[in-house]
């Protein structure tokens, strides 16, 4: 079945407009005709329906996403197969992929990257807690909503820990640019694999390029295994750099212990609390970091520059490689061992080649949208950075974390900011997603390290509009069997909103399913009166929704419309005419 606008899947999901086309299928915006919800429909391409591997991967995405209930993971509502098509019904997430943001902006602010890392890591922790490893974390699978929330998508190649992969061949799954060394070496994925991939994402967002590049997938996979990443740009604070580099450590044991630890460290660095970040991820506070706020009385000499990776040969290389001088006494043993390393090198190339072949045949078939955003990085080992300590921030600067204020009452947040020494101005933003969120903080600028006395702008949610009371419904003619149709004109919603559903109630009657109330996208409902002589009473309200803001509270009920199923008049006998009252024929007087 070829997707087209207006086509309905599963008898309830009506396509409206195409959102995206990927390697495996298409994503469409659709309406759930049963409950009136706007959803996304991910439809598998017809050519993959005959491939059991692709179809199983598609089914797995629904199963895996259903295992996790977390605000940072896009919901999957339903799955279906019909008329030669397979589809997923998913949450429609407003916003754009992180890959699009990186392609457009090249690099992102440090605070923004830390926020994305923290949110993604928290969502991954929820997945890891139920034994689920995503295995394909990359910018194209991280959606960013207009209010800055992160949603992880595409659990199609995720794997339950300790279970077999989707195929019996043990093929490697993922995207080679974000592949961990253990995956590139053909080893199983683990929660630490997702942390590594997220570290590559953070590096790319901060530097505008990926740390490992190559002319082929084999070259990139080998770079993940053997090469050290180039230093991040100098404007990235050293504790942040240390956190990112710890995520992309070659050994899983050297990475943050859990995704939750990574999230805590990123959140602490957003606050400028290096000590708390170090508790979560010890690699941040080693000899190679500079504290944002060193202890009072400590001079700049207390801060040490981030230790660069040491120049030298490939990891685990034999004596005699660059960085390990060989004296005359070592020459003979080196020759004896040379053939061993040739064998090791050949075996390594065979392993990497197999991994990349598996990626090409069975991995993430959808091309990474962010591929064009990266710039080639040098493949040489980065020399140690300058040992000149970074300047310690003065006491006139404070670190503002947006998440500490968003959602708070505007007056409360403004008072807290003024107490810190900032000037504050408040501006109205979009209507609140719910009435109880009116006059709360929706956004805050600037954030990060801000000078005391600077002007801080709070954008607050405004009171959402209310849906107008709808018109009184019209009652049709009651049939002899007691059926009556109530209809009404389409409701008008406030600007920017559209009708998502009508909710009706009835007394002394039921609809065709036997219900006395329900939701509908139609403007008419047929009711069966309970009994002759009953007065059927019908009313309805309207719910309006905006994709960018949310759903308004339902309107008040319309005025009621009534209809009565009149009982048929029973004919009576006229004693004077001598007829049978039921047949109208003369009666026999005898």
Please give the positions annotated as active site: 136
Q: How is residue 572 written in tokens?
A: 């009576």
Q: Could you tell me if 232 and 207 are in contact, meaning their C-beta atoms sit under 8 angstroms apart?
A: yes
Q: Report the alpha-carbon distance of residue 569 to residue 552 in Å, rounded.
A: 49
Distance CA 81, CA 69 (A): 24
Q: Please report which helix (H) or strand (E) contains residue 341, including its range.
A: helix 331-362
Residue 104, token pair as written in the block: 């457009």
Contact (Cβ atoms closer than 8 angstroms) between residue 46 and residue 109: no
Q: Cβ atoms within 10 A of the Cβ of 208, count?
A: 18
Give dist(CA 249, CA 288) in Å, integer. 15
Phi, psi angles (nearest 5°) of residue 524: -155, 145
CA angle 77, 79, 80 (to 5 degrees): 145
Burial class (CB in 10 A: 0-12, 13-18, 19+), 256: buried
Q: Which of 110, 169, 118 is nearest to 142 (CA)?
A: 118
Burial classification of residue 266, based on how many CB atoms lie within 10 Å of its CB (0-12 exposed, 13-18 middle, 19 or more buried): buried
Contact in structure between 180 and 244 (CB atoms under 8 Å): no
Half-sphere exposure of 567 (CA within 13 A, CB side): 8
Length reported for the chain: 590
Question: 491 to each of 294, 326, 371, 501, how far by Cα in Å?
Answer: 62, 85, 46, 10
Output the 3-class SS for 410-457: HHHHHHHHHHCCCEEEEEEEEECCCHHHCCEEEEEECCEEEECCCEEE
The runs of H, that is alpha helices, within 162-293 are 181-184, 191-207, 217-226, 238-247, 259-271, 274-280
Structure-block tokens of residue 452? 């005391």
Per-residue burial over 539-571, b if 16 or more Cβ lie within 10 Å, else e, is: bbbbbbbbeebebbebbeebebbebbbeeeeee
Cα 23 to Cα 178: distance, rounded to the nearest angstrom: 18
């Amino acid at each position: 079945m070829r997707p087209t606008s207006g086509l309905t899947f599963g008898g309830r999901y009506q396509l409206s407009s195409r959102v995206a086309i990927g390697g495996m299928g298409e994503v469409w915006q659709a309406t759930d005709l049963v409950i009136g919800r706007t959803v996304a429909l991910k439809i598998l391409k017809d050519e993959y329906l005959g491939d059991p591997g692709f179809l199983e991967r598609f089914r797995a995405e629904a199963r895996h996403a259903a295992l996790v209930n977390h605000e940072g993971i896009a919901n999957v509502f339903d799955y279906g197969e019909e008329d030669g098509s397979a589809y997923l019904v998913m949450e429609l997430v407003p916003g754009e992929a992180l890959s699009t943001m990186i392609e457009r902006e090249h690099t992102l602010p440090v605070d923004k990257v830390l926020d994305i890392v923290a949110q993604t890591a928290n969502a991954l922790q929820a997945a890891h807690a139920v034994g689920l490893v995503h295995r394909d974390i990359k910018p194209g699978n991280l959606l960013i909503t207009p209010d800055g929330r992160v949603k992880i998508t595409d659990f199609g190649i995720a794997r339950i820990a300790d279970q077999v992969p989707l195929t019996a061949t043990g093929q490697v799954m993922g995207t080679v640019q974000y592949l961990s060394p253990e995956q590139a070496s053909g080893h199983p994925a683990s929660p630490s694999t997702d942390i590594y991939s997220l570290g590559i994402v953070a590096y790319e967002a901060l530097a505008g390029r990926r740390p490992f590049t190559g002319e082929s997938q084999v070259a990139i996979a080998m770079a993940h295994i053997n090469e050290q990443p180039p230093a991040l740009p100098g404007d990235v604070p050293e504790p942040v750099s240390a956190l990112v580099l710890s995520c992309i450590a070659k050994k899983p044991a050297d990475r943050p212990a859990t995704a939750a630890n990574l999230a805590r460290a990123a959140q602490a660095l957003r606050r400028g609390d290096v000590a708390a970040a170090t508790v979560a991820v010890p690699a941040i506070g080693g000899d190679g970091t500079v504290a944002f706020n060193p202890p009072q009385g400590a001079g700049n000499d207390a801060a040490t520059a981030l230790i660069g990776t040491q120049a030298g040969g490939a990891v685990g290389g034999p004596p005699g490689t660059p960085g390990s001088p060989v004296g005359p006494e070592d020459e003979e043993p080196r020759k004896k061992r040379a053939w061993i390393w040739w064998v090791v090198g050949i075996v390594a190339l065979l392993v990497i080649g197999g991994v990349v072949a598996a990626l090409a045949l069975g991995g993430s078939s959808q091309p990474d949208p962010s591929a064009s955003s990266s710039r080639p990085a040098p493949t040489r080992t980065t020399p140690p950075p300058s040992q000149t300590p970074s300047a310690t921030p003065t006491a006139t600067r404070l670190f503002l974390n947006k998440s500490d204020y968003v959602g708070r009452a505007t007056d409360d947040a403004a008072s807290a900011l003024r107490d810190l020494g900032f000037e504050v101005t408040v501006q109205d933003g979009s209507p609140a997603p719910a009435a109880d969120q009116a006059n709360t903080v929706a956004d805050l600028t600037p954030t990060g390290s801000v000078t005391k006395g600077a002007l801080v702008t709070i954008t607050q949610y405004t009171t959402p509009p209310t849906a107008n009371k709808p018109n009184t419904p019209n009652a049709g003619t009651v049939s002899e069997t007691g059926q009556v149709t109530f209809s009404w004109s389409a409701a008008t919603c406030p600007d920017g909103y559209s009708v998502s559903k009508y909710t009706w109630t009835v007394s002394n009657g039921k609809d065709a399913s036997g219900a006395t109330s329900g939701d509908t996208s139609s403007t008419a409902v047929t009711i069966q009166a309970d009994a002759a002589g009953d007065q059927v009473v019908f009313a309805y309200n309207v719910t309006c929704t905006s994709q960018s803001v949310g759903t308004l509270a339902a309107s008040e009920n319309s005025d009621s419309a009534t209809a009565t199923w009149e009982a048929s008049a029973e004919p009576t006998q006229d004693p004077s005419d001598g007829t049978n009252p039921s047949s109208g024929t003369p009666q026999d007087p005898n």
